[in-house]
Every structure is written in structure tokens, then in C-alpha cells.
């Protein structure tokens, strides 16, 4: 009990574990499983491992992903690749009528956009975006890449005008993929890892929650050289000062971003 305010508190107070009836033994096991799994852990698998309901495991996993969210004031530098991808289910798995509605035009209808920056031999920064238009895309690049860096992108017109700030080189994929050191192939490999976990482990991810899975994937990549115990400790350190209630994670109150 606090001597000044006379309120009771526990080791869970002020952390992602606050107001949870689940013991720390299961919470720390959940942190270890999620932090060390290269392709992620589904809520059903977590439920079986911990002996809790799937609904409880689902909320626990989202709280752990909140602790995996990491921000930094350090910008990417030297050589940086930028790319964006549309994330959604495979059209071949859809009903014919649903596929017809969702794959009109360029196929981007009702898909969620993920934008990522990758410093070669370094870290990545990723975000979920509502659009691929020029203003927000250029703002994201300028906020996270040091001026004067070499910036490699595809031929998307939204990247035009960045040569004033960077050594911007464009690779037009219909013509070639590498010339001679200008390419975004490293980013393409990263998209494969992200989509493999979304489609293979989580099966279906609501766009409302996608940014949490992107944060999980980003931390896992940025700490790819760390041992499992080091990655686990970094997530434990981020559990303090963060809370996520069931009402927030389901979008019933407030905002979750």
C-alpha cells in the first residue's frame, strides 16, 4: 500500500499486466513465446501452451505486441530502400463474387498499405498507411531518413521530388530489378517474411489491428542478431508505462494507435 495515497499496488501496476487475473508465470511465458518465435504465435497456439481460453490468449498477445512497439529518434542513413505493399487475402481464395468486387482496377481495392524503410545492413522502420499519395509518403520518408542519404525506390510517382533532399535513384521494375547497385530486393525479401507470418500463422488479420503485427515484425527484424534471451529482456523492459484494455483493443473506446 502506498503511504502517501493509501492505494494498493502490485508488481503489475503501471505495466501491460495491470488488472489482469493471469499470473506472471503465464505472462512471462507468453512474452518468451511471442518474442522468440520467428513466424509469430497464433492465439490458439498460445491458448494451448498457457492453458487459458483463446479469447484471453488473444488479448494477452495484443498486450505483448504493445510492449514490442519501439520508437526511436535516430533516423536511417547511408543507403536506404523504400517500398510499400498491399496487404490482404489472396484473390484465389475468395468467392467469385467477392473476388470480382475486391480486385477491380489495379487490385488495390479494400487492401491495407504498409510502407517500410530499410537501411542496408541496418534497421527498418514501418507504418500502416491509408494512402500511397505523394504528401504522406514523402513526409514519412523525410521524418525517418537523414538528408543526403542514398535513397532507392521503385518508379511510384509519389516518390518524385525527393532528389532535393536525397541521392534518390529509381529502379523501374517492368524494365529491370538491379542496376547496378540500385535495387529494393532486400525489401522484397522482408515483405515475404511479413506476409508469411500473416497468412501462415495468423491466417486472417483485421486492418484495424495490422499495425500491431507490423510492430511485432519490425522488432523481430531489428533484433535479428540478438539471442532469444536478449530479445525477451528488451520486451520485458518495454512493459512498463503501457496499458491496453479489452475495450481499447476491440475499438469500443478511445483510440488504439
Between 94 and 76, where is the model more confident? 76
Domain 79-200: which CATH number of 3.30.1360, 3.50.50, 1.10.150, 3.30.420: 3.30.420
Q: Is the pLDDT of residue 95 over 70?
A: no
* pLDDT (tens digit per residue) in 210-238: 999 999 999 988 888 889 999 999 999 98
Yes or no: say if 136 and 59 are a contact pair by the CB < 8 Å rule. Answer: no
* pLDDT (tens digit per residue) in 156-209: 889 988 999 999 998 887 777 788 888 888 887 778 888 888 888 888 888 888
Looking at the chain, the whole-number percentage of residues with pLDDT higher than 70 is 89
* pLDDT (tens digit per residue) in 35-78: 998 888 999 999 999 999 999 999 999 999 999 987 767 889 89
According to the model, what pLDDT value does residue 254 have? 54
Half-sphere exposure for 66 (CA within 13 Å, toward CB): 21
Residues of the chain with CATH 3.30.420: 79-200
Q: Is the pLDDT of residue 255 over 50?
A: no
Q: Residue 211: which H helix or E strand, with range? A: helix 210-222
CB atoms within 10 A of CB 241: 8
According to the model, what pLDDT value does residue 32 have? 94
Q: How, if at all, do strands 150-153 and 79-87 pair? A: parallel
Reported confidence tier of residue 80, pLDDT bands at 50, 70, 90: very high
State mean pLDDT over 246-250. 86
Amino acid at each position: 500500500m502506498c503511504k502517501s495515497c493509501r492505494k494498493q499496488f502490485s508488481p503489475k501496476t503501471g505495466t501491460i499486466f495491470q488488472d489482469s487475473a493471469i499470473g506472471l508465470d503465464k505472462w512471462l511465458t507468453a512474452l518468451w513465446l511471442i518474442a522468440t518465435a520467428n513466424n509469430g504465435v497464433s492465439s490458439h497456439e498460445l491458448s494451448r501452451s498457457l492453458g487459458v481460453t483463446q479469447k484471453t490468449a488473444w488479448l494477452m498477445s495484443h498486450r505483448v505486441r504493445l510492449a514490442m512497439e519501439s520508437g526511436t529518434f535516430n533516423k536511417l542513413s547511408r543507403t536506404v530502400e523504400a517500398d510499400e505493399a498491399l496487404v490482404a487475402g489472396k484473390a484465389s481464395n475468395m468467392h467469385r463474387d467477392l473476388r470480382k468486387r475486391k480486385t477491380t482496377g489495379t487490385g488495390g481495392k479494400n487492401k491495407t498499405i504498409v510502407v517500410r524503410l530499410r537501411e542496408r545492413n541496418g534497421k527498418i522502420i514501418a507504418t500502416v498507411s491509408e494512402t500511397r499519395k505523394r504528401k504522406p509518403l514523402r513526409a514519412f520518408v523525410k521524418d525517418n531518413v537523414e538528408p543526403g542519404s542514398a535513397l532507392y525506390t521503385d518508379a511510384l510517382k509519389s516518390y518524385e521530388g525527393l532528389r532535393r533532399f536525397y541521392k534518390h535513384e529509381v529502379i523501374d521494375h517492368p524494365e529491370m530489378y538491379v542496376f547496378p547497385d540500385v535495387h529494393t530486393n532486400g525489401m522484397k525479401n522482408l515483405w515475404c517474411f511479413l506476409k508469411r507470418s500473416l497468412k501462415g500463422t495468423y491466417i486472417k488479420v483485421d486492418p484495424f489491428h495490422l499495425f500491431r503485427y507490423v510492430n511485432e515484425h519490425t522488432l523481430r527484424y531489428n533484433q535479428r542478431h540478438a539471442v532469444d534471451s536478449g530479445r525477451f529482456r528488451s520486451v520485458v523492459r518495454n512493459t512498463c508505462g503501457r496499458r491496453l484494455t479489452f475495450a481499447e483493443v476491440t475499438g469500443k473506446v478511445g483510440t488504439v494507435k
